[in-house]
A and B are shown apart, each in its own frame.
Chain A
Amino acid sequence: MDDLLLDFLTESTDNLAKLDNDIVALERRPEDVALLNSIFRTIHTIKGTCGFIGLTRLESVAHAAENVLDSLRGGALTVRSDLMDDVLAAVDVIKEILAHLEEHQVEPEGDDFAVIHRLERWMSDAAPEAPEAHQAPVAPVAAVAAVTPAATRAEVRVESPIAVVAESAAPTEARAQLSDSTLRVGVGLLDQLMNLVGELALGRNQLIQLAAAHEESEFAKPVQQLNRVTTDLLEAVMKTRMQPIGNAWTKLPRLVRDLSHSSGKQIALTMNGAETELDRQVLQAITDPLTHMIRNSADHGIESPAVRRAAGKPELGTVTLSARHEGGHVVIEIADDGAGISAAKVRRKAIERGLVKTAEADAMPDAQIFRFIFEPGFSTAEKVTNVSGRGVGMDVVRSNIEAIGGTAELSSVEGRGTSIKVKIPLTLAIISALLVGTAGETFAVPQIGVVELVRVTSEQSHLIEDVHGAQALRLRDALLPLVHLHRLLGLEARESASVSIVVCQVGESRFGLVVDEVFDTQEIVVKPVGRLVKHLQAYAGCTITGDGRVIMILDASGIASMGHMAEAAAREAQAAEARRALSAGQVDQTIESVLLFDAGHAALQAVPLSLVARLEEFPQSMIEEADGHYLVQYRGALIPVLAAYPGLDMRAKDPRPVIVFSDRDRTMGVAVDEIRDIVETHVHLERSANRPGVLGVAVIAERATEVIDTNHYLRLAHGDWFSRREGEGAEGKRVLLVDDSRFFLGLLTPVLRAHGYRVVTALDGTEALDRLERGETFDLVLSDIDMAKMNGLELAKAIRANPSWAHLTLVALTARDSQEDRVRGMAAGFDHYLAKHDRDAVLATMQRVLTAEKVVA
C-alpha cells in the first residue's frame, strides 16, 4: 500500500474512533465549544487530506458534514439529536469507505447522495428550524461561540462553567504533549520484543543457577546486576503492551445512545476507570463480551420511562461500567438500575430444564441460582428472556471470559437492577504457574485455576474412594472427582509413596488433578504450541524453563472436559467387563457396591452405596440440638441427624462422620462411629435380623455384616416419609427385573428393595421367560429392550401370547426413548415405556400401576 494512503488511514481511523464519543458527549454538553471544535477539526482534516490524495467520494461526504459542523460553530444551527443522527450517519459512511480503502486501496463504488442530502437539508432549512423554543438552553452558548472566531478562543472560554472546561481542556493539553513524546510502533515489533525479553529472562535464570553453584565466583555480582536489569526490562516491555481498558469502551457510548433512541428509553452510560491498563491481548478478548453485556443491560435491564416512573424511579436509567485493578487482576463491573432478575423464576426454569433437582434448587442461595443464566441454552429460552430480562448468549460471554482465565458473576435484586462482575488476568503473556511432575515428565499448571494442593500419602489412600470406576477424593464436605494426569496423557505410571492432588476450578466445577509431585511456582512466558499439536485440548501452550527445557502448560478446562470423557470411558469399560463376565456364565452374582461402617455393634454395618447421597464429616460446631433432636445446616437447609444406634453419644467425636441419605426432596443424616470402606460384593442376606433398623446379616469381606434398613431411619427422621406409599400398599409386590447389564441390575435392585418391592432379576428374555414358565409369580415385569438373548420386545410378545400372564404389568426401561421406539414397544405389549435412568419416574409409575391394579382387583 502507498505510504501516504497508509498514514492517512492510520491517522483517520484513530481520530474517528474518538469521534463517536465526542459527538455523543456534545449532545449532552452542546455548549462545549472546544469539543465542537475538535470534532470539526477531525472532519476537516479528513476532508483536506482526501482531497489531496484524490479520494473524491470520501471528500464529498466529509465536506457536507464539515459544513453542518461549521454552521454549528457559527451558531446558525444548534445541537439537537436528529441533526446529530445525520452527522453520525455521515461518520458511519466515512468509516465504511475507510474500511474498504484499507482492504482494497480504492474507494468503493456507489454514491452517498442520501447522506449528503440529509446534511445539506439542514443547511438550507437552518434558518426556519433552528430557533425552536425547547432548544433554548443551547442557544446562548452557541451565540457566544458565534462572536468568537474559531482559532483563538481557548483562553477566553476558560471563564465558562468550570466542570465543562476541566473535562474538555485537559485532553486537549495532553494531546499536544503526546504528539511530541509518543511514537507509533507496530504490534509485531512489540511481540518480538516480548519474545526476546522472555528469552533473555531464560538466559538470566540459567546464569543464576550456574552462579549459585559457585558462590564465591567473581560472576556473582554482575549476575546480580543482570538479574535486576532483566526484571526491570521485562516489566517495562510488558508495559508497552498495556493499553487502557477505555480502548475497548470507545464504541459503547454510541451503542447505548442508539439503543436508547431506538427503544424510546432514557439511558445514561457512566464509565469509571477507563484508564485501567491491561494487556492488549486480554483487551481484545474482552471487547466483545463487554459490548454484549452492555447491550443486554441497556436493552433488557433498563425499563421504559413509563415503567420506571410507575416504580418510583427516575426516568433516566443508568448503566454503569467500571474497571479497577485488584491484585494481579482487572475487575470490571457492569451494573444497571433496571428491572433486575427474579431469582424465583430462574430457579423454576432451572428445575424445569433439569439443570438442578428441586430440593437442591430450593437450598441454593440466590447467588448460585443466578449462575444458571450462564448455562448454554438457558438464556436463549424465550420465556426466560422475557421474564428475566436477559438476552441470548450469556453462555458465550462466560466461555469467552473463561477462555482467558477469567470469571463472571451475576447478582441481581428484582426491581433494583443487575450487576455482573468480571475478573480477568492482567496479561496472558506471562503467567504464574505451578510446576508438577508425573511419570517423570514436568508440566506447568496456570495458578489462576488452582484452588489448593492436597498431598495424600499411601496411609491416607482410603481418602480416595472409587465410585463406579471413577475416583473421588473425600475432601472436607465434598467428594472431589479425580483425574490422573498420567492416565489422561497416556503416560506410564510410576510407583510413589504419596501423590499430590492439584485442586482445579473450572467455571462452577472443581476437580483434582492427580500428579506424582509438585515442585514450585514460577513466572513463565507462555508460548503457543505449534499447529501440528494445536488440536490437543490438554495444553494451553508451552514454555521454556530456567534450564532450557521445553515443558507443556496444561489447560485446566481442556483437562476437565477430557476427564469427563475419560470417566465415561472407564465406566463403559467396566460395563463391558461386566458383560464379558456374564457371557462367561457367572450370571448369578449380583454385585453391589456397599458402604461399610462401624456403629456401636460388634458386627460391621453395611448399606448399599446406591442409597447413599454423600458421606460427610460435620464438625461439632455445626451440629445443633433442639428438643432432643440433632440438626445440621446442610446446603442451605436444616436436616435431621439420627444416631445409628440408641447409645451413640453425638458429641463424642469431632468431626462426626455422617452418612447422608436423600430421597426425592427429603434429606437426612445417620451419625456413625466410623466410615470403613466401600466394597464391591455380592450381597446375600443370610438371615433376617431381630433388631429394628437392620434388614439382615450378610457375609461381606469375609465378615458377618449387618445390612441396615434405611427405611427405618427415614421413617424416624420424617414420620410421613413413607406414609403415602404404605397407605397405598405397593410393598411386597413381586417384581421381575430383566436387564443384561449386571451393573444396572446392581444399581436398581437395592433401590426397588428399599421401596419395599420383592425383586427377582433375570439377565435376558429367555431367563425371564424360564422363571415365568417355572411358575414363579410376579406383579410386574421391568425389562430392558436391548438384550443379546431374546430382547425386550420378543419377551413382551411372548408374555402377551400366554393368557395366564395377562394380569402382568409390563414396563419397558430403555435408553432408546424416541417416539418410534415407544410405539414399537407399546405394539409389542408393554404397558409403560420409561427412560432407563429416571429413577423417580420408574418408582412413581410402579407405585401408580400396582396400586391402581389393587383397586381394580
Chain B
Amino acid sequence: MNLAPASVSTLGATSEYVTFRLADQWLGIPVLIVQEVLVAQRIARVPMAPPSIAGFLNLRGQIVTAVDLRTTLGLMERAPDEDFMNVVVRQDTELFSFMVDEVGDVVSVADAAVEPPLSTLDARWRAACTGIVRRDRGLLVIASVTDLLRLDHAAA
C-alpha cells in the first residue's frame, strides 16, 4: 500500500462506504457491493446452523442468508427483542443480509486516508478488517465482505 502523507491525500482517489454500527463500533463496507438496506425482517431460523447464521429471510421471493455480525465478530449476543437493521449484500450470485444495530450515512473517504489495520485487533476483526479511517466521531473500520462471510464459513 502506498503510505502517502495524509495532507496530500485529498487530491487522490476516493471510495464510498456504507457505514453501520455494531455495539459502539462503526464499520464501513464498499457501497457498490450493497444492494439495499432493510428494516428488521422476519427471519426464519435454521436449526443446527452455525451460531452467527440467524436464518433465512424472504426478499421478494429470493432467499437471503441472514448473518448476525455481532456473533461473527464476537460481540455481545443480540437479545431476542433488540431492534436491528439489514444490510443486504450480493456476493457471487448469492444474497446475504448483515444484521447490524444501526445504519449510518454513505461516506466518501480518500483512499490515502485509509490506514492499515491495528495489529492489536482481535483476531476475528483483524481477519475482516482491511483498513482504519480516523474520523471526528472515532474510528471507522473498513471491512471486507468476502472476509466477513469467510469468518462464518470457517465457523461453519
Binding site for B on A (CB under 8 A): 195-196, 198-199, 202, 441, 489-491, 527-533, 535-536, 538-539, 542, 544, 548-552
Contact = CB atoms under 8 A, between A and B. Distances in A.
B61 A198 contact: yes
Given A490-B48, A536-B48, A530 B156 contact: no
B42 interface: yes
Contacts of A548: 42, 58
Contact of B44 (A198, A490, A491, A549): A549
Interface string B11-48: 00000000000000000000000000000001011111
Interface string B92-118: 001010000000000000000000000
B58 A532 contact: no
Interface stretch (B49-57, B77-85, B129-137): B49-57
Contacts of B44: 542, 549-552
A533 B47 contact: no
A542 B63 contact: yes
Contact of B63 (A196, A489, A529): A529
A494 to B, nearest CB: 14
Nearest to A530: B65
A532 B56 contact: no
Contacts of B56: 529-530, 542, 550
B73 interface: no
A542 B55 CA distance: 11
In the A-B complex, the 6 residue pairs with the smallest Cβ-Cβ separation, listed nearest first, are A199-B61, A530-B65, A489-B47, A550-B44, A550-B56, A533-B49
Contacts of B60: 199
B39 to A, nearest CB: 16
A550 B57 CA distance: 7
A532 B65 contact: yes
A198 to B, nearest CB: 7
Nearest to A541: B63
Interface residues of B, number: 26
Contacts of A531: 94, 153
B47 A441 contact: yes
Interface in B67-81: 67
Contacts of B57: 550
Contacts of A536: 46, 48-49
B59 to A, nearest CB: 10
Nearest to B64: A530
A532 B152 contact: yes
Contact of A532 (B42, B47, B53): B53
Nearest to B63: A527
Contacts of A544: 58, 61, 63
Given A530-B94, A532-B152, A532-B153, A550 B63 contact: yes
B149 interface: yes
A505 B55 CA distance: 29
Nearest to B52: A532
A544 B63 CA distance: 8
Nearest to A548: B58
Contact of A533 (B42, B53, B64, B149): B53
Contacts of B47: 441, 489-491, 538, 552
Contacts of A491: 47
Nearest to A200: B61
Which of A196, A490, A530, A536 gathers the greatest number of chain B CB atoms within 10 Å? Answer: A530
A533 to B, nearest CB: 5
Contacts of A489: 47-48
Nearest to A552: B46
A531 B46 CA distance: 13
Contacts of A198: 61
Which of A195, A532, A551 gathers the greatest number of chain B CB atoms within 10 Å? Answer: A532
15 contacts: A195-B61, A195-B62, A198-B61, A441-B45, A441-B47, A490-B47, A532-B65, A533-B65, A536-B49, A542-B44, A542-B63, A544-B63, A550-B44, A550-B63, A551-B44
A550 B66 CA distance: 12
A196 B45 CA distance: 24
B127 to A, nearest CB: 16
A810 B150 CA distance: 57
Which of B58, B60, B67, B152 gathers the greatest number of chain A CB atoms within 10 Å? Answer: B58
A850 B120 CA distance: 73
B156 to A, nearest CB: 6
Contacts of B50: 532-533
Contacts of B149: 532
A538 B46 CA distance: 10
Nearest to A198: B61
Contacts of B63: 527-530, 542, 544, 550
A551 B94 CA distance: 18
Contacts of B62: 195
A491 B47 CA distance: 7
Which of B45, B48, B149 gathers the greatest number of chain A CB atoms within 10 Å? Answer: B48
A530 B96 contact: yes
A527 B61 CA distance: 10
B48 A538 contact: yes
A84 to B, nearest CB: 45
A441 B46 CA distance: 10
B61 A532 contact: no
A550 to B, nearest CB: 4
B27 to A, nearest CB: 19
Contacts of A199: 60-61
Given A195-B61, A529-B63, A549-B44, 6 more contacts: A441-B45, A441-B47, A491-B47, A532-B49, A536-B49, A539-B46
A528 B62 CA distance: 10
A550 B58 contact: yes
Contacts of A530: 56, 63-65, 94, 96
B4 to A, nearest CB: 38
A530 B57 CA distance: 11
Nearest to B155: A532
Nearest to A533: B49
B149 to A, nearest CB: 7
A531 B94 CA distance: 8
Nearest to B96: A530
B67 A532 contact: yes
Nearest to A442: B44
Interface in B136-156: 149, 152-153, 156
A230 to B, nearest CB: 13
Contacts of A538: 47-48
Nearest to B61: A199
Which of A441, A531, A535 gathers the greatest number of chain B CB atoms within 10 Å? Answer: A531
Nearest to A199: B61
A491 B48 CA distance: 9
Contacts of A552: 44, 46-47
Which of A441, A527, A551, A552 gathers the greatest number of chain B CB atoms within 10 Å? Answer: A552
A552 B63 CA distance: 11
B66 to A, nearest CB: 9
Contacts of A535: 156
Which of B47, B50, B63, B153 gathers the greatest number of chain A CB atoms within 10 Å? Answer: B47
A530 B45 CA distance: 13
Given A530-B94, A531-B94, A549 B58 contact: yes
A532 B48 CA distance: 12
B64 to A, nearest CB: 8
B53 to A, nearest CB: 6
Contacts of B58: 544, 548-550
B132 to A, nearest CB: 27
A550 B61 CA distance: 9
A804 B46 CA distance: 66
Nearest to B45: A441
A533 B45 CA distance: 12
A280 to B, nearest CB: 18
Nearest to B44: A550
Contact of A550 (B49, B55, B96, B153): B55
A784 B48 CA distance: 38
A53 to B, nearest CB: 32
A472 B64 CA distance: 38
